[in-house]
Amino acid sequence: MENRIQKLFAQKPQALLSVYFTAGFPNLEDTVPIILELEKNGVDLIEIGMPFSDPLADGPTIQQSSEVAIRNGMTIPKLFEQLKDIRQHTQIPLVLMGYLNPVMQYGVERFLQKASELGIDGLILPDLPLSDYVREYKALFEQNGLSNIFLITPQTPEQRIREIDTHTDGFIYMVSSASVTGSTTGQSVVNTSYFERVNGLGLRNPGVIGFGIHNHETFTQACNHASGAIIGSAFIKALAKEGSLTENIKTFIQSIRLKENA
């Protein structure tokens, strides 16, 4: 049976907007309100970040939001409790993103079962190696109808991209450049030769570009080379602003979609 991610991409979406946020930030109980507001504002896919004390692939924004979330009391059991009725309210594809250690402590098998029960569609665990996934966990993911999303970078060799493509069923997360999350050093994320090289491989899975996407320009650029783009750090900065969650989310998503709505 297809999960919601697979259904979404089966419709061959263009300029898909995926948004990441850290669960438990800015406040512990914001998880469900943020999900519902994002859906209301036309976001296509949501990545719920499970905060970790040592997020190696993340820049300062997500590090800090994770610290706050942990201090606020966010844990995996707490998050699951918050999400227990989520499918009565929304059918938007939901991905849980986090690091392997907290998932290991919860118990990988128990985690996958619980996520599936709650109606989660996929997982991104950047430090779960492909080889471990294939050897130990792939069957469990499939039994639970969960897509495991892998990252690739401009440095990932073709052979490995093809291997990843074989073992995943959702989308491939194309890291825009060599960086941790939240880097906005360049206005441009257009690493055209890399994106075109990947597009030329004829992969089974669609690509979505993330890392460094932070405004309308970078979002549009990314969408020219992939099915869509992922925004994380820039959204977290917007959430941290003064004002209501509702207003902050609305203003931010509109600023990204800008010209389509105009």
Partner 1 sequence: MKYSVDENGFYGKFGGAYVPEMLYPNVEELRQNYLKIMAEPDFQEEMQSLLRDYVGRPTPLYFAKRLSEKYNTNIYLKREDLNHTGAHKINNTIGQILLAKRLGKTRIIAETGAGQHGVATATVCALMNLECIVYMGEVDIERQAPNVARMKMLGATVVPATSGSRTLKDATNEAIRDWINNPEDTYYIIGSVVGPHPYPDMVARFQAVISEEMKAQLLEKTGSENPDYVVACVGGGSNAAGAFYHYLDRPEVKLVAVEAAGLGIDSGESAATSVLGKEGIIHGSRTLLMQTEDGQVTEPYSISAGLDYPGVGPLHAHLHQSGRAIFESITDEEALKAVLELTRLEGIIPALETAHALAAIGRLGAKPEEVVVINLSGRGDKDLATYLERFNLDGK
Nearest distance from C-beta of residue 186 to partner 1, angstroms: 13
- For partner 1, the closer of residues 113 and 246 by Cβ is 113
Nearest distance from C-beta of residue 161 to partner 1, angstroms: 10
186 binds partner 1 (CB under 8 A): no
Cα 114 from Cα 193, distance rounded (Å): 40
157 binds partner 1 (CB under 8 A): yes
99 binds partner 1 (CB under 8 A): yes
123 binds partner 1 (CB under 8 A): no
180 binds partner 1 (CB under 8 A): yes
100 binds partner 1 (CB under 8 A): yes
- For partner 1, the closer of residues 10 and 56 by Cβ is 56
240 binds partner 1 (CB under 8 A): no
72 binds partner 1 (CB under 8 A): no
Of the candidates 103, 123, 146, 229, which one interacts with partner 1 according to CB under 8 A?
Answer: 103
Is 30 labeled as catalytic in the residue annotation?
no
Is 58 labeled as catalytic in the residue annotation?
yes
Region from 81-89, 101-109, 196-204, 225-233 binding partner 1, contact rule CB under 8 A: 101-109
153 binds partner 1 (CB under 8 A): yes
- For partner 1, the closer of residues 26 and 212 by Cβ is 212
User: Which residues are designated catalytic?
Assistant: 47, 58
